[in-house]
Structures are given as C-alpha cells and as structure tokens.
Chain A
Amino acid sequence: MVTIMGKNIYLDNAAATRLDERVLESMKKYFFEVYAVATSEFGYSLGIEAREALEEARGFIANYLGADFGEIVFTSGSTESSNMAIKGIAMGLKEKKGKHIIVSKIEDFPVLNSAKSLEKQGFEVTYLDVDQYGLIDFDQLEKSIRKDTILVSIQHANQEIGTIQDIAKIANICKTKSVLFHTDATHTFTRVPIDVKKIPVDLVTLSAHTIHGPKETGALLIRKNTPLSKWMDGGFQEFNKRAGLENIPGAVGFAKAIELVTPEETKKIEQMRDHLIKRVLSEIPDTTLNGDREKRIPQNANITFHYVEGESITLHLDMRGFSVSTGSACFSKSLEASHVIMGIGGDHERAHGSVRFTFGRYNTIDDVDLIVNNIAEVVTELRKISPLGKNQ
C-alpha cells in the first residue's frame, strides 16, 4: 500500500527520533578505530583514547547541567536510569531510614512500575494526585512526606500531555524535609532548561533517544554522597555505580546530540506546536487540549477528538503517511486506557479519542498544515459512522 502523499511525516518524536547524521559521524570513530574498552591510564593506548572520549562526553554533559564530572553515570537509557535511581535508593535506605516512596500518578512506566514492583516487596508507595492539567499539589506532597520517606520521584514533564512540573519548588520542599528527590527529565532535557546548581535535585534521568541521539543511551545524574545501592553487578565501571562495558560511541553521540540542540530550533518547534493547537481547536469542533496550555514542553500537543477512537485516527493517518500515537486502550500493549489521561480526571472517552503529536528537528510548519488538513478529514469521516455526537 502506498500512502497518499508518498512520503512520511513523523510526529512521534517523544517515542523515538531520527538520528542526526552529525551524531552518527561523531560516533563512527568509536566503532571502527577506537573500539577498545576504556582502560585505566596504565592500559594500552587505544583503551586510553577510548577512556578519554568517554570522559570528555561525561564532562560535557556534567557541564551542560551544572553538575560535577563525577555525578554523571552513563546508562542504557531512561528505563535503566529510573530503575537504578528508585531501586538503588530503596535498597540503599530501607535499613537506615524506611520503606516509603512518593511518586505522581502520571509518571512514565519506568518510575511507576519500579514503584509498583517495590510495593510487592514490602515498600509503601504514595501516588500523588494531579489536577486537570497534570500538575501536582505541593501541599499534598508536603503532607505525604513522613519520617520513613526515602524518595520522592516526580517527572520534570509528562510523556503524553507535556505538562511541566515546578521541579525547583518540589526539590526545595524535599530538601527542607530531608528527603531525596529524583526527576525523570527524558522529555525536557535540552528543550527546557535545568540547572542543577540552582535546583537541589538528587537524581535526574536523562536520555539521548528524544533528542536525535542514539537509542538505548542515557545517563543518570547522581549527586555526590547520594546513598544509592549498586544493582547492576559486574566490574567497577562508572565510579563503581553501574557495571558493564561502557557504551563509548553512545556516550560520544549523546554529548554531540546535546550540543546540536539550539534555542532557535526549540523556538521553531514551539511555533509548530502552537500552530497545530490553534488550528485544530479552532477548526475542528468537539476537540479538547489535554495538559496545561502554558506549562507545556515545546514539542508536545495532545488533543482529544471526541466521539471517535484514537487507533482509528492513527491508522487512517498512517495510511496517509503520518505517524502519531494515541492514549486509546486499543493502541496500548496492555489494552488499558492511558493512565495519564485518566490521572488528570479524564474518563475512558477522553483517553479513547486522544492523539499525541510530538515535534522534532526534521519537522516543518508545512507538516503541521498538512496533518491538520488530513486529521480534519479523517475525524469527519469517522464521526459519520460513530453512534455518538452530532453525526447527521
């Protein structure tokens, strides 16, 4: 089957992004020339060169965040980073301080399911509510912190609806109450500034896959003296915090990907988002924007098209050459409606017709016009056959 336009417009950049050629170029040397393991300074020259490349990438990322060199640990991506942070703190503090953890209801699965898995092992978890825009309540957070609370994990921005939490405020509440704070910055990193010199956050999950870097490459920022227990056993790599062969091409590519993001590009992406939201809400009836209009990452728009189902929309769009995703249960691997849309007080109906559009470097404002025109047609067609809404 050939799409109507003959080309594909990809608007699912929160799931994965196209690798930037310049990132690939920066990585090549570490596949074909300097492919040795990162040895100590007393090792052979190829290994020393590999170690230098790794440390240079680490230094670049640390500097970018306002962190110290020794505070960045490379991982296999956000899933590992968040598992490492939550389970590492749980194991590190369960004897010394307690077994209570606080997360928000709308965290991404690595955080949410790590918390659930700890619950099965006898930990207690408080799931903070969010308001209709996806924002947590600071009073509820403060009241939820107990003597035995060992960790608060609240995302910087949401993966589906793009709502940005005030992590500076959350970090300060945690600091005052002497509780460690982890934030998943997968969907904000490089697009929304985060300066850990100013924000007292203890652990930050980072990933390269959302910024046109290599997949399965990420990092965890771990503040000095954070009582994190090592859970990936093996050698003494990554300051003895994470065993395993270092992914040197990945680390180099990650640093390059960060370097390539510019404020001008982010601005351009934000304009695409605004253009899409404005056109859809004003031209297509019975649509609702999910998430906060202002406290929103520049690359995300999430809209419910009432009376129609999301997988039907995405499949029609796919046949027309557009890639987007939906929070509909029919689309999910567990056949459950998006826990994020449900978490913001939405019902199955709101999740059922929700579509997420996420922009990246390779999108243009013309793409936005094309997809809005097509989605208007698709939604009109689907509403004709729906038993709900005005379909006469």
Chain B
Amino acid sequence: MPDSAPASTDRTIELRVLRYRPELDGHPFFDHYTVAYSDDMSVLQGLQVIKDSLDSSLSYRWSCRMAVCGSCGMMINGAPRLACNSFLRDLAPGPVTVEPLENFPIERDLVVTVGDFVKKIEGIYPYLIPKTARRLEEGEYLQTPAELAAYESFSDCINCMLCYAACPQFGANPDFIGPGAMAILQRYNGDSRDGGQQQRLDRIHGEDGVWSCTAVGLCSDVCPKQVDPANAVNQNKTKSAFDFFLRFLKRETGQ
C-alpha cells in the first residue's frame, strides 16, 4: 500500500510499465497507467498506487523505501535506478517508462532473477579471513580511522545490482563476476584485519574474472551509494597482474 495518501493534487503522470506473466503472456508488453502524484512521490509510490487501486496483478520487489535494502532496482526511462529514490516530479511531464533491470532474466513483470548474483557474492569468500586469530576475551582488533577508510566505501554496497544492469560486459557474458561482487571482494581485501587476499585473487584471475572488465565505468556512474565498483575492479586488475607476474617469477626461479 502507499505509505501515505497522496497530497491532494490534480497533476497526473503516465507510467508505461513492462508486463510479463509467464503463465499468461507469450511476450513482454507495456501496460499504461495514469496516476495522480504530488511532489514527494517516488516511482515506487506510483507503482503502489497502481497495485492498490488500478491493477493488483502488477508484481515488483520493494521493502525499505529509503534506498538501503536494495530491492527495488529497475530501469526507469532506460536507466538503472532505485524506484524508491526516483521522484515523479523529476520525470514530469512523462510518460515514465518502467522496465525490469537490464541484463537479467525476467521472472515476472519487474521481478528479475537475483540468485546468480548472490552466488557470485558467495563465491568470493565474502567474510573476514583473519590475518591473526583473536579470542573474544581479547577484545576488538584495532583499526585506525584511516585503515577503516581504505575499504569503508566498498562496504556500503547494498547489492541492488544497478551496476550489473549498466555493465556491457555482464550483458555480453553473464558469467562475468561483475562490479558488485568485485566491490565486496575489495571490501575484504582492503580490510587491515583480513588475510584472505590470495584466496580471493585466485577467484578472479580467469576469463570471467577481473580481466573481463573493459573499464567503461558505467557501474560507478549508476551506483546509488557511491561505492565506486570501477575503482574496486581497477585495484584488483593491478593486483591480479602483479600476482600473476610474481607466480611466474617463482615458477621460473623454482621457488
């Protein structure tokens, strides 16, 4: 349901929403809805008005409404955006085109398949592998504000997948590890407490790893949290190259 009754307004805007119900529709098509809106209404609230008053069969994911749960990524006028912090006032006079996130299979309407992305996160050892073991009684690891700052922005990834929808390499190769998972990898590899760098680097040497990236940088442009995944990818290209070179040297010198 909408979070509040829309403020009284006679302004309306048209939403062109991609529909696809696998049990009923042979192909995706657009439905057109006209909703009244006020200045504080998001695209998500527009969809909620449709669902509650015009067409209850429209399906989409949403939850927090405040751009932190990462559920409501979709293409809005062709660009990957969070529906909850895209405002109808900024898209007036419309029409506004709303489609599921690019580069992902559609399950229904605006719902795409998330599982492959989550498997990519699971594949890069997304947890602290302590450099030195520490018992709880010994208290916390020390970490200076500067050491925190080295990885903090990468830890802000909300897993919304907008970067994947923007990434031409992921579009061409769905097995590419992609920007979001690389940001999470760098979140741990850049953490002063962590000692798992080598394990994670080993996961990204291959053709679906870091080298698939052609440095287009669209991932960072569309990130709603300024995580800068392109930077994470670049840092790891350097490390991956250096790592490869070191191993080559070790092999050559028999070490």
Report if A and B associate in a common complex.
no
